[in-house]
Amino acid sequence: MSHYETRLAELGVTLPDAPAPAANYVPSVIVGDTVYISGQISQNDDGFITGKIGADLTVQQGTAAARTCAISLLAQLKAACGGDLSRLVRVVKLTGFVNSTPDFTEQPKVINGASDFLVEALGDAGKHARSAVSAGALPFNVAVEIEGIFQIKT
């Protein structure tokens, strides 16, 4: 078990199996020491976390949904690294999409759910650049989708 997985266990988080792609794409691509992870949608053991932030869901519920996306990103990264999460050097960048109403402007607060979790779980390696944008709709009406770029040891 890597020190990252030890820290996740301390936080009460067990990485799920990496979600399978829902269409004609791959979950990750490795180029050199960089891993590009396809967008991960908000879901938990009960299924998709759906709804529009600002109408159906609160900022706090959106933040919790973003956290689930970060957990899925780490699960995909672990799978891309052949099950060895210790290859992670750092999180480089996240792009977060928030299913929100046209007048909603707190997308950064929602995506903080992912950012804060990654720093809590990975320490300095979890610090990253980021974009947080509004989306009029997301696949399956999910609340949040986040894609990530990671640096790994080759």
Contact (CB, 8 A) for 14 and 120 = no
The domain total for the chain is: 1
d(CA 61, CA 113): 10
- Name the residue range of residue 90's domain: 3-152
pTM of the model: 0.97
Radius of gyration from C-alpha coordinates of the chain: 15
Q: Which two tokens stand for residue 134?
A: 């509004």
Q: For position 15, what pLDDT does the model report? A: 96
The predicted-structure confidence for 72-107, as pLDDT tens digits, reads as follows 999 999 999 999 999 999 999 999 999 999 999 999
CATH number, residue 90: 3.30.1330.40
Counting other chains too, the contacts that 82-88 makes at CB distance below 8 Å and 24 or more residues apart are: 84/2, 85/2, 85/4, 85/5, 85/15, 86/2, 86/3, 86/4, 87/152, 87/153, 88/2, 88/4, 88/122, 88/125, 88/150, 88/151, 88/152, 88/153
- The band of 128, judged by pLDDT with boundaries at 50, 70 and 90, is very high
**Residue 1 pLDDT more than 80?**
no
The predicted-structure confidence for 12-53, as pLDDT tens digits, reads as follows 999 999 988 889 999 999 999 999 999 999 999 999 999 999
